[in-house]
């Protein structure tokens, strides 16, 4: 009787793991499709208007980073926190430019956004330093803090 319960427990764990993996994969495809659709829609709107502002270009960078984050998460099942920080910095920069475009003068909002960008930059520095000192090999060059040096060809003529 005990073996039957063990087998049922193993079966339920395998089934649960398979369902979680299936949901995970479907959700990633849905998120990736939403990011691609939103990015394409924003780009098409810019092309139709014939006008690209710095605000529009930063929006495209946000979509690019979201897409990269989804791709890396799909490949490694790890969420790259640095990419979330990059997206936040880009979004804050975009908001700050929007504030300056409207009022044409620096106010408290611009100062707060600049301070938040500075704090996020320090957080990125801490994360990069930590991952350099304690590297995690994901097999992805995009996440590597150890950029390999190009190989130098030896000249045997001298």
pLDDT in tens, 75-106: 887 777 888 999 999 999 999 988 888 777 77
Cα separation, 18 vs 26, whole angstroms:
12
pLDDT at 147 exceeding the cut of 60 = no
pLDDT at 150: 53
CB contact at 8 A, 83 and 61: no
Helix-helix angle 2-49:54-76, to 10 degrees: 160
Cα separation, 11 vs 33, whole angstroms:
33
pLDDT at 31: 92
Q: What is the pTM of this model?
A: 0.69
- Token pair 């990059």 in the structure block, residue: 86
**What is the helix, strand, coil percentage profile of the chain, to 5?**
80, 0, 20
With cut-offs at 50, 70 and 90, classify the pLDDT of residue 158.
Answer: very low
CB contact at 8 A, 145 and 128: yes
Give the residue among 67, 66, 120 at the shortest CA–CA distance from 93: 120
- Token pair 């300056």 in the structure block, residue: 100
Residue ranges of E strands in 45-145: none
Range among 76-85, 121-130, 143-152 with highest mean pLDDT value: 121-130
pLDDT at 5: 84
Here the tokens at position 158 are 């001298």
pLDDT in tens, 107-124: 888 899 999 999 999 999
With cut-offs at 50, 70 and 90, classify the pLDDT of residue 64.
Answer: very high
Give the CA dihedral 64, 70, 71, 75, nearest 10 degrees: 160
Q: For residue 4, give Cα distances in angstroms to 15, 16, 17, 44, 131.
A: 16, 18, 20, 59, 46
With cut-offs at 50, 70 and 90, classify the pLDDT of residue 157.
Answer: low
pLDDT at 149: 45
pLDDT at 146 exceeding the cut of 80 = no
């Amino acid at each position: 009787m005990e073996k039957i319960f063990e087998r049922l427990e193993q079966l339920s764990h395998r089934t649960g793991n398979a369902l979680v993996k299936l949901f995970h994969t479907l959700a990633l495809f849905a998120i990736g499709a939403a990011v691609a659709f939103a990015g394409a829609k924003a780009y098409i709107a810019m092309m139709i208007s014939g006008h690209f502002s710095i605000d529009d270009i930063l929006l495209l960078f946000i979509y690019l980073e979201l897409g990269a984050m989804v791709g890396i998460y799909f490949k490694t099942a790890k969420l790259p926190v640095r990419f979330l920080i990059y997206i936040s910095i880009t979004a804050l920069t975009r908001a700050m430019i929007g504030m300056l475009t409207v009022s044409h003068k620096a106010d408290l909002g611009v100062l707060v956004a600049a301070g938040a960008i500075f704090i996020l930059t320090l957080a990125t520095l801490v994360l990069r330093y930590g991952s350099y000192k304690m590297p995690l090999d994901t097999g992805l060059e995009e996440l590597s803090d150890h950029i390999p040096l190009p190989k130098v060809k030896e000249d045997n003529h001298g």
